[in-house]
């Protein structure tokens, strides 16, 4: 099977779980002898050669061709004056300034440059890039032989739709997160509209958890028979032995993720205060960046925890591994988490985890302590228990490592291949 796959990022250049999930899925599909054409707006040259990578920035299009004009007229073109982050959602998202359907007569000529250099970043021109990416996708679908199209999250949905219009091949829309996860009930309507259009245009929708599947059905009006669940996994289930050791005598409790509404950082701060009141010999770490960072710093100061609470900023690569390695407990208090790969990575570092019940990973990681994100008392009790009762901590470490062995990307990919095969057989 030849799969034309559209993403927005790929390791080692990623901003969150989306790129990591794409990498694992591609690796799993290759294991099952699937031929992958993986398209991203910008390649950096150091991606692992797992697929036939296509750099959208290198693709030349003739926008004057009739089919491309039709696709452009059907594209939604947005001017957004804030920064968007794929998968993890809008950060400090301001009101969009323009929301209209355009054709070639009322859009700046530069939009139609024959070859567009994508930034590969997530700034104020992101929506322009999403629209251009769709045009490039149509050209790729015309020139590259393929059996099925697979688009990851809303940034790639217009590209997936455009490719389907050109080739007529079936489209799979992969939902890693929805606008309701990123923004709660106060959704940004243009983003929601793009998500919904992608799901409705798709021949099949893949959700990363039953939690997300429920949202897709109830909030986006997608028929239940069209939506299946494929949980995320880990690339390697073995426990990582690290040579890094902490240089402080206290126990360390870590929050590692984007500091935004979705991730529930404020509940972590409040729980930290309750733990420190019971045992001052504990240090808390908030690793990440986001629009709530300054508010969290101010709240920590208000609670008088400045000497026991540390902000590292955004971590990546080896720094992430080192942070897990020196942590005694990892906490993911997400308000709404479609899946959440980070707890699986923490388990790989032999670190016991506490996760919110409002997360997809709670469906597969059974041997972890689960609390409601808003219940800071239960969260504090769980942290205190893991720090002070070695037998409990040891039990969760051992059971967690056994669970990881079942969560492999090859297993996920095998289920996805059956979806591809079914769609391919339904083709006229």
Residue pLDDT, tens place only, 189-248: 888 999 999 999 999 999 999 999 999 999 999 999 999 999 999 888 777 887 888 888
Q: How much is the pLDDT for 121?
A: 60
Asked if residue 420 has pLDDT above 90, the reply is yes
Count how many residues are written for the chain. 428
pLDDT-derived band at 78, boundaries 50, 70, 90: very low
| Spatial CB neighbours of 235, under 8 Å, sequence gap ≥ 6 | 23, 24, 27, 409
pLDDT, tens digit (0-9, with 9 covering 90-100), for 255-266: 998 898 889 999
pLDDT, tens digit (0-9, with 9 covering 90-100), for 339-380: 988 899 899 888 999 999 999 999 998 888 999 999 999 999
pLDDT, tens digit (0-9, with 9 covering 90-100), for 297-332: 999 999 999 999 999 998 888 899 999 999 999 999
Q: How much is the pLDDT for 272?
A: 98
pLDDT-derived band at 105, boundaries 50, 70, 90: very low
How many other C-beta atoms are found inside a 10 Å radius of the C-beta of residue 192?
17
Q: Nearest 5°: phi and psi at 381?
A: -65, -40
Q: How much is the pLDDT for 124?
A: 57
Q: Which of 33-37, 76-80, 171-175 has the lowest mean pLDDT?
A: 76-80
The token duo for 154 is 């809303």
Cα–Cα distance for residue pair 311/296, rounded to 1 Å: 9
pLDDT-derived band at 64, boundaries 50, 70, 90: low
C-alpha separations of 246 from 134, 312, 322, 387 in Å: 47, 15, 9, 15
pLDDT, tens digit (0-9, with 9 covering 90-100), for 114-162: 666 776 565 556 777 788 888 888 889 988 999 999 999 998 999 999 9
Residue that wins the pLDDT comparison between 60 and 30: 30
Q: How much is the pLDDT for 204?
A: 98
Average pLDDT over residues 44-52: 84
State the chain's mean pLDDT as an integer: 84
Say if CB 171 and CB 163 are below 8 A apart.
yes
Of 160, 26, 32, 158, which is closest to residue 421 (Cα–Cα)?
A: 32
Q: Which of 32-36, 63-67, 149-153, 158-162 has the lowest mean pLDDT?
A: 63-67
Q: How much is the pLDDT for 17?
A: 75
Which residues are bridge partners to 78 per DSSP?
Answer: 99
Say if CB 255 and CB 231 are below 8 A apart.
no
Asked if residue 104 has pLDDT above 50, the reply is no
Q: Which of 50-54, 86-90, 397-401 has the lowest mean pLDDT?
A: 86-90
Cα 253 from chain centroid (whole Å): 23
Q: How much is the pLDDT for 69?
A: 57
pLDDT-derived band at 91, boundaries 50, 70, 90: very low
Q: How much is the pLDDT for 73?
A: 53
End-to-end Cα distance, the chain: 16
Asked if residue 76 has pLDDT above 60, the reply is no
> Please, what are the domains in the chain?
2-233+408-425 (3.40.50.2000), 251-404 (3.40.50.2000)
Cα–Cα distance for residue pair 268/382, rounded to 1 Å: 12
Q: How much is the pLDDT for 16?
A: 67
Which residues are bridge partners to 256 per DSSP?
Answer: 287
Say if CB 336 and CB 360 are below 8 A apart.
no
pLDDT-derived band at 101, boundaries 50, 70, 90: very low
Q: Which of 6-10, 109-113, 405-409 has the lowest mean pLDDT?
A: 109-113
Residue that wins the pLDDT comparison between 134 and 111: 134
């Amino acid at each position: 099977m030849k799969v034309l796959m559209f993403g927005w990022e790929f390791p080692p250049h990623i901003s969150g779980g989306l790129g990591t999930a794409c990498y694992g899925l591609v690796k799993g599909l290759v294991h099952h002898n699937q031929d992958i054409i993986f398209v991203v707006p910008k390649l950096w040259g150091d991606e692992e050669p797992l697929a036939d990578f296509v750099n959208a920035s290198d693709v030349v299009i003739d926008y004057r061709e009739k089919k491309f004009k039709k696709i452009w007229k059907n594209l939604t073109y947005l001017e957004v004056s804030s920064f968007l982050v794929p998968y993890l959602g809008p950060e400090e998202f301001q009101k969009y300034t323009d929301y209209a359907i355009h054709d070639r007569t009322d859009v700046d000529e530069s939009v139609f440059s024959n070859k567009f250099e994508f930034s590969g970043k997530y700034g104020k021109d992101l929506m322009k890039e999403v629209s251009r990416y769709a045009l490039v996708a149509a050209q790729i679908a015309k020139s590259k032989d393929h059996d099925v199209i697979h688009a990851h999250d809303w940034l790639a949905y217009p590209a997936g739709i455009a490719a389907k219009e050109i080739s007529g091949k079936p489209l799979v829309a992969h939902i890693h997160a929805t606008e309701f996860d990123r923004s709660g009930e106060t959704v940004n309507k243009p983003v929601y509209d793009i998500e919904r259009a992608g799901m409705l245009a798709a021949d099949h929708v893949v959700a990363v958890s039953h939690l997300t599947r429920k949202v897709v059905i109830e909030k986006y009006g997608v028929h239940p028979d069209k939506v299946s669940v494929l949980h995320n996994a880990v690339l390697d289930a073995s426990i990582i032995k690290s040579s890094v050791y902490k240089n402080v005598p206290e126990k360390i409790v870590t929050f590692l993720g984007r500091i935004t509404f979705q991730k529930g950082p404020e509940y972590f701060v409040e729980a930290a205060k309750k733990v420190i009141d019971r045992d001052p010999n504990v240090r808390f770490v908030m690793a990440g960046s986001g629009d709530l960072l300054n508010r969290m710093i101010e709240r920590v100061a208000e609670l008088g925890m400045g000497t026991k609470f540390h902000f590292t900023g955004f971590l990546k690569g080896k720094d992430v591994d080192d942070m897990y390695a020196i942590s005694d407990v990892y906490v993911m208090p997400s308000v709404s988490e479609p899946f959440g790969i980070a707890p699986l990575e923490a388990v790989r570092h032999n670190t016991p985890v506490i996760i919110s019940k409002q997360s997809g990973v709670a469906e597969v990681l059974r041997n972890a302590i689960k609390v409601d994100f808003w219940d800071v008392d239960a969260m504090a009790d769980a942290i205190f228990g893991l720090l002070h009762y070695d037998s409990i901590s040891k039990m969760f470490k051992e059971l967690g490592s056994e669970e990881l062995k079942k969560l492999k990307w090859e297993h996920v990919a095998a289920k996805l291949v059956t979806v591809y095969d079914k769609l391919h057989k339904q083709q006229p």
